[in-house]
């Protein structure tokens, strides 16, 4: 072969390799499940992940909150983004499952290379996710994992500053529920909880709080903790209602919790006993999941519960924006998810660094005093660009984050009517 033809062959080969390489080059990311305007952005800018449940045992609550993160990032991108570039969102469904959550977090940290993640929701999933976030130096902010275990591990230094949450720990909600039980005159109660970090942590905190108020937990020495993968609950129901408690404190997830409560009703155990619930089942669809009695009333009629409330200075603006963009009102934990995403973007801007290390270094600085109070994330970004300090006031609350990554909040007291409608009837602050 002549040198001329050899040169041509080499050139053609190099061109083919170049075309192939270009074809294989990873394109600008879209999220793993769907695409929105926050995703079609520069891949060199800040990249945020979300790890929230749209399927699984907490789907009924997760689906109410999952829209908050893209809405916040769309708002941020509309006013110029972070560090001069648009923000990218990568969404992963945690499936309310620790194994799926760990796989999702691994993808977000190693493949997508996000700087921060909003998630997870279930405490068991966050426990799995944070063990991946910390060594990969990715900032994880949960809008709903409330187990006291996170406080304990943060106190030991396990998280190295890469963990925070915008919902308060269950040590506070347990106290709020204990106060509610005491206020209603109950002195003898029993507990049933889902056997995971959330359920067991809540149970222990509730027992301690209720006993301090003079109450008795009659099954304290034989706690009922059900398997998250269980499908039948007759035995657990019999155990919980044994001894004639005045009220049953039920710390459940929606899918399995509905089966438990239905089993208790069908055995005739719930008559005359107050059912007291928590945030894990607070969704409009839950009474329907539990079912109705023969006269058309709902089994859950008269049940009461607590849920982290939202009383932040930015709540009205979020409600207005949500109504404008989505035509309804934000559901449970949407304000907490909004605030988690806001803190990630503000911290990155404050650090002038889109990495998890940079974000982690500035989370408390943008969340806490001193600094100019801001409720609008775009105003906060502008002040930070000007080199000023801010104190973000969120939709869920003032989101002052302590050294353990915790916030203190208020709690809504809710009840179920005969028509199955849930309404908030009071607030309680466990201070």
pLDDT tier for residue 431 given thresholds of 50, 70 and 90: low
| Per-residue CA distances from 334 to 5, 15, 107, 177, 427 (Å) | 66, 51, 24, 22, 18
Among the four given CATH numbers 3.40.50.1820, 2.40.10.340, 3.40.50.2300, 3.40.50.300, the one describing domain 171-309+411-428: 3.40.50.2300
429-to-172, 392, 412, 424 alpha-carbon distances in Å = 8, 21, 9, 14
Question: How large is the C-alpha radius of gyration of the chain?
Answer: 24
- Closest of 101, 166, 121, 105 to residue 338, by C-alpha: 166
Task: Kindly report the CATH class assigned to 47-169+312-392.
Answer: alpha beta
pTM of the model: 0.83
* Lowest mean pLDDT across 12-21, 113-122, 337-346, 393-402: 12-21
**In the predicted model, what is the mean pLDDT of residues 230-251?**
97
pLDDT above 90 covers what percent of the chain? Answer: 85
Inter-CA distances, 383 with 45, 246, 250, 380, Å: 19, 54, 46, 5
The pLDDT of residue 2 is above 50: no
End-to-end CA distance of the chain: 88
Please say if the pLDDT value at position 13 is more than 80: no
Banded pLDDT at 428 (limits 50, 70, 90): confident
For 285-308, what is each residue's pLDDT tens digit?
999 999 999 888 999 999 999 999
In the chain, domain spans: 47-169+312-392, 171-309+411-428
Residue 289: per-residue pLDDT: 96
Query: Is pLDDT above 70 for 35?
Result: no
Contact by Cβ (8 Å): 61, 108: no
- What count of other Cβ atoms lies within 10 Å of the Cβ of residue 106? 14
Label residue 33 by pLDDT band (50, 70, 90).
very low
> Average pLDDT, stretch 190-217?
97
pLDDT at residue 429, as a whole number: 78
Q: What is the pLDDT of residues 346-373, one digit of tens each?
A: 999 999 999 999 999 999 999 999 999 9
With cut-offs at 50, 70 and 90, classify the pLDDT of residue 25: very low
The per-residue pLDDT for range 250-295, each reduced to its tens digit, is 999 999 999 999 999 999 999 999 999 999 999 999 999 999 998 8
Q: Identify which of 145, 128, 51, 122 has the alpha carbon closest to the alpha carbon of residue 92.
A: 51
pLDDT at 421 over 70: yes
Topology alike, domains 47-169+312-392 and 171-309+411-428: yes
Determine which of 2-11, 411-420, 421-430 has the lowest per-residue pLDDT on average. Answer: 2-11
Q: Which pLDDT does position 43 carry in this prediction?
A: 47
Q: What are 374-406's pLDDT values in tens digits? A: 999 999 999 999 999 999 999 999 999 999 999
Predicted pLDDT of residue 64:
87
Residue 249 and residue 206 in contact, taking contact as beta carbons nearer than 8 Å: yes
% pLDDT > 70, the chain: 90
């Amino acid at each position: 072969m002549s040198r001329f033809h050899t040169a041509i062959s080499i050139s053609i080969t190099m061109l083919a390799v170049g075309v192939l390489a270009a074809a294989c080059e990873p394109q600008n990311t879209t999220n793993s499940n769907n695409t929105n305007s926050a995703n079609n952005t520069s891949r060199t800018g800040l990249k945020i992940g979300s790890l929230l449940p749209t399927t699984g045992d907490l789907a009924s609550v997760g689906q109410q909150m999952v829209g908050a993160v893209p809405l916040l990032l769309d708002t941020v991108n509309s006013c110029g983004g972070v560090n001069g570039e648009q923000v990218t969102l990568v969404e992963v469904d945690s499936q309310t499952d620790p194994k799926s959550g760990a796989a999702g977090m691994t993808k977000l940290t190693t493949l997508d290379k996000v700087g921060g993640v909003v998630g997870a929701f279930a405490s068991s999933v966050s426990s799995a996710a944070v063990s991946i976030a910390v060594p990969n130096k990715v900032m994880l902010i949960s809008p709903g994992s409330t187990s006291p275990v996170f406080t304990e591990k943060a106190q030991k230094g396990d998280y190295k500053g890469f963990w925070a949450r915008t919902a308060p720990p269950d040590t506070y909600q347990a106290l709020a529920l204990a106060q509610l039980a005491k206020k209603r005159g109950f002195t003898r109660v029993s507990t049933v909880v889902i056997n995971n970090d959330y359920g067991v942590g809540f149970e222990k905190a509730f027992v301690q709080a209720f006993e301090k108020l003079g109450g008795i937990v009659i099954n304290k020495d034989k706690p009922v903790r059900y398997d998250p993968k269980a499908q039948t609950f007759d035995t657990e129901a019999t155990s919980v209602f044994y001894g004639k408690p005045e009220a049953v404190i039920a710390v459940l997830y929606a899918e399995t919790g509905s089966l438990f409560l239905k089993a208790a009703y069908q055995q005739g155990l719930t008559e005359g006993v107050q059912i007291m619930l928590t945030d894990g089942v607070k969704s409009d669809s839950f009474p329907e999941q539990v079912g109705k009695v023969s006269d058309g009333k709902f089994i859950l009629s008269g049940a009461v519960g607590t849920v982290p409330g939202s009383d932040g200075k930015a709540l009205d603006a979020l409600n207005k924006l949500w109504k404008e963009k989505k035509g309804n009102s934000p559901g449970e934990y949407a304000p907490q998810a909004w605030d988690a995403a806001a803190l990630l973007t503000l911290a990155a801007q404050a650090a002038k660094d889109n990495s998890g290390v940079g974000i982690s270094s500035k989370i408390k600085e943008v969340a806490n005093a001193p600094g100019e109070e801001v409720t609008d994330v775009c105003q906060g970004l502008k002040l930070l660009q000007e080199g000023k300090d801010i104190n973000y006031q969120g939709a869920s609350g003032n989101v002052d984050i302590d050294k353990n990554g915790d916030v203190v909040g208020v709690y809504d007291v809710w009840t179920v009517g005969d028509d199955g409608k849930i309404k908030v009837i009071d607030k309680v602050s466990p201070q």
